[in-house]
Chains A and B, each alone.
Chain A
C-alpha cells in the first residue's frame, strides 16, 4: 500500500487543529477555575460566626470592640472617630481607636443583612417572574399562534441578551422616581424583568421536549389542552423547568447594576419591602471599593456566600424534584 502524496501534511494539519482545540479549551477554563478558586480561598478566609450573624459595623466601632474599649459609635454622631486628628492629640469623641489600627484590621461585622436582603429581593423577583414566565412558556409551546410566538420569542431573546442596567433604569424611572423611594420591591421588579425571559424560554424548550405522542394520548382521552398540559405535560417536563427557574434565580441573585438604581443598599437588617435593603452583590460592590482592608475581606466573603447560596439552592431543588420525578424511572 502506497502512502498518499500529502499524507504527512494532512497528519500535521490534523495535529495542529487538535492542538489548537486543546489550547482554546484551556484558555476558556483557566479564568473560570481561577475565579472560582480565588473566591473560594479569599472568601472562605472571611468566614466566621460573626460573618453570618452580624451586620455592618463601622470600622472604628469594631476596633473598639476588639480592644475591649468603649465603642466609639454614637448614634448622634456616626462619624465619630473617622477622620479623627492624627497629629497626636486625643480623638475628640472619647475612646475611638487610632486610625492606623482601623486600616490594618481584619474583617469587621458581618453580612447577615445582605444574605437576608438577597433572599428577599431575589425570592420576590422570582415569585413575580414565575407565573408570568411559566404561563408564557406554556403559551409558546402548547397554544402557540406562530406569528405572535415568533414576536414573543424574539423579544425574550433580546431581553435576556440586553445589559441588566437597562432593567434597572426602567424600574428607576417607572417606580423609584414616581414613588420617590428606593425600595426592595423596586429591586424585585427589576430582577423580575431579567428573570422572565429565562423562565419563559426554558419552560418552552422543556415542554417541547415532551414527545408529541404524549399530548396525542391525553387528547385522545378527551382531555382539553389545559388539562393535559397541567396533569401530563408539565409533570413530565418538571425537572427541566426547575433547572430554568434555578438559572433565573442564579442570574437574579448575582445582579448588581439594577439593584444600585432600585434598592440602593442598607447597613441594617431590613424586611420593609418599601424601604432600601441590603443585598450581597451590593455589599460585594461597596466593600470592594472601601479603603478599609477589613471590608475588602468582607467583599470576598459576600461573593463566596453568593456563590454558595446559588449552589446550595440548586442542589436542594434538584434533589427535591428528582425525588418527585423519581416515580417516572
Chain B
C-alpha cells in the first residue's frame, strides 16, 4: 500500500502540453476519483501515474510522481517495474485471446517468473476471490477468457491486475462499457478493495464518483488561450466537492450547466 504525491506533473503530446501542471496527493486506503468533461486530460493524468502515458508515440511527461518516496520519473527507474507496482484497468474489458481464464489471471505472475503449479493455483484463486469472480468461474477456469460477459471480463481484468499484488490500482473509466448491474458489482468490489489498496479511478459519471470515492479531483478544459488545455480546478473530499464546491467551475459542472 502506498501513497502517491504528484507535483508539477505536466503531460505532453509532442510539443503540446495537454494539462497544466498538476499538484495532488493520493492517500492510501481511499478511492480517489478524477472527474471532468471530455478532453480535460483526466485519463492522461491517470496514465502518467504508472508511466503508461509515454507508451503513446510522441507522448512525454515532466514533473515528479512520488510512489511512497520514490520518484517514478527518476533517472534509473524502469517503467515496466513501476507498472508492476501500479496496476491498471482499462475502459474496454480485455481478456487475452488464446488464454483461458486461469492463464489470463496468471499472465502477470508468469511474467514475474512464478512457475510452480501450487503457487500459481493459490495466487490465481486469491486474485479471483478478491475480484469477486471466483464463485462464478471456479468450475470453468479452462474456458477462454473471452467467453465471459463484459462485466465478468472487467472483473477478470481486475483480478489479473490484482494477482501481481500492486500497491496502487488505476482504473480508467472501468464501467463505461458495462450495464448498470455489472457497474454496481464493480463499484462494490472497489469499495471492498480500498481497505488494502490505493485506488484512483477516472470516471465520466459524477454519480459514480459520489457513490464510491473518498476524494474527488475535478479537471476542466481551459480554452481561454485558444489552445484547449486541461487543468485541475479542485481536489478535496468527495462530500465537500459535491455539496460545497470551492471553485465556481466545479459548481457549474456538477450542477450540469457545463460539460
Residues of chain A having any CB pair with chain B under 8 Å: 210-211, 213-214, 216-224, 227, 231-232, 235-236, 238, 324-325, 327-329
Are B98 and A221 interface neighbours, CB within 8 A? no
Are A328 and B97 interface neighbours, CB within 8 A? yes
Are B111 and A223 interface neighbours, CB within 8 A? yes
Closest Cβ neighbor of B108 among chain A residues: A221
Q: How far is the CB of B67 from chain A (nearest CB, A)?
A: 13
Interface flag for B144 (CB, 8 Å):
yes
11 contacts between A and B (CB under 8 A): A214-B97, A216-B94, A217-B94, A219-B55, A220-B88, A221-B108, A222-B84, A231-B110, A232-B96, A235-B98, A236-B97
The 8 A CB mask of B143-179 against A (1 = contact, 0 = none) is 0101100000000010011001000000000000000
Q: How far is the CB of B49 from chain A (nearest CB, A)?
A: 11
Q: Bound complex: CA of A210 vs CA of B108, how far in Å?
A: 19
Are A222 and B80 interface neighbours, CB within 8 A? yes
Query: A213 — which chain B residues lie within 8 A by C-beta?
Result: 90, 92, 94
Which size bracket describes the interface of B in this complex? 20 to 34
Selected from B90, B92, B98, B110, the residue in CB contact (under 8 A) with A220 is B90
Q: Bound complex: CA of A210 vs CA of B97, how far in Å?
A: 10
Query: A214 — which chain B residues lie within 8 A by C-beta?
Result: 94, 96-97
Are B87 and A221 interface neighbours, CB within 8 A? yes
Interface flag for B52 (CB, 8 Å):
yes
Are A221 and B97 interface neighbours, CB within 8 A? no
Q: Bound complex: CA of A208 vs CA of B50, how far in Å?
A: 25
Query: A232 — which chain B residues lie within 8 A by C-beta?
Result: 96, 99, 107
Q: How far is the CB of A68 from chain B (nearest CB, A)?
A: 61
Are A221 and B111 interface neighbours, CB within 8 A? yes
Are A217 and B83 interface neighbours, CB within 8 A? no
Are A218 and B107 interface neighbours, CB within 8 A? yes
Interface flag for B100 (CB, 8 Å):
yes
Query: B52 — which chain A residues lie within 8 A by C-beta?
Result: 216, 219-220
Which secondary structure characterizes the binding site on chain A? helix
Query: B181 — which chain A residues lie within 8 A by C-beta?
Result: none
Interface flag for B75 (CB, 8 Å):
no
Residues of chain B having any CB pair with chain A under 8 Å: 50, 52, 55, 80-85, 87-90, 92, 94, 96-100, 107-108, 110-111, 144, 146-147, 157, 160-161, 164
Are A224 and B98 interface neighbours, CB within 8 A? no
Query: B98 — which chain A residues lie within 8 A by C-beta?
Result: 235-236, 238, 324-325, 327-328
Query: B144 — which chain A residues lie within 8 A by C-beta?
Result: 327-329
Q: Which of B81, B83, B89, B94 has the most CB of A within 10 A?
A: B94
Q: Bound complex: CA of A312 vs CA of B165, how far in Å?
A: 49
Q: How far is the CB of B153 from chain A (nearest CB, A)?
A: 11
Query: B108 — which chain A residues lie within 8 A by C-beta?
Result: 221-223
Closest Cβ neighbor of B145 among chain A residues: A328
Are A217 and B157 interface neighbours, CB within 8 A? yes
Given contacts A218-B107, A220-B52, contact A236 B90 (CB under 8 A): no
Q: How far is the CB of A228 from chain B (nearest CB, A)?
A: 9
New A-B pairs, 12, CB < 8 Å, besides A216-B52, A216-B88: A214-B96, A216-B55, A217-B94, A217-B160, A220-B90, A220-B161, A221-B83, A222-B84, A231-B111, A232-B99, A232-B107, A328-B144
Query: B94 — which chain A residues lie within 8 A by C-beta?
Result: 211, 213-214, 216-217
Q: Which of B83, B89, B157, B160 has the most CB of A within 10 A?
A: B83
Closest Cβ neighbor of B87 among chain A residues: A220
Q: How far is the CB of A241 from chain B (nearest CB, A)?
A: 13
Query: A236 — which chain B residues lie within 8 A by C-beta?
Result: 96-98
Closest Cβ neighbor of A238 among chain B residues: B98
Q: Bound complex: CA of A213 vs CA of B147, how far in Å?
A: 17
Given contacts A216-B90, A231-B107, A328-B144, contact A222 B96 (CB under 8 A): no
Q: Bound complex: CA of A324 vs CA of B144, how far in Å?
A: 12
Query: A220 — which chain B residues lie within 8 A by C-beta?
Result: 50, 52, 83, 87-90, 161
Closest Cβ neighbor of B85 among chain A residues: A222
Query: B82 — which chain A residues lie within 8 A by C-beta?
Result: 222
Query: A221 — which chain B residues lie within 8 A by C-beta?
Result: 83-84, 87, 107-108, 111, 160-161, 164
Q: How far is the CB of A107 from chain B (nearest CB, A)?
A: 48
Q: Which of A214, A231, A327 has the most CB of B within 10 A?
A: A327
Closest Cβ neighbor of A221 among chain B residues: B108
Query: Nearest 8 A-B pairs (CB), nearest first?
Result: A222-B84, A220-B88, A222-B83, A217-B94, A235-B98, A221-B108, A236-B97, A328-B97
Q: Bound complex: CA of A327 vs CA of B101, how far in Å?
A: 10
Are A235 and B83 interface neighbours, CB within 8 A? no
Q: Bound complex: CA of A214 vs CA of B147, how far in Å?
A: 16
Q: How far is the CB of A217 from chain B (nearest CB, A)?
A: 4
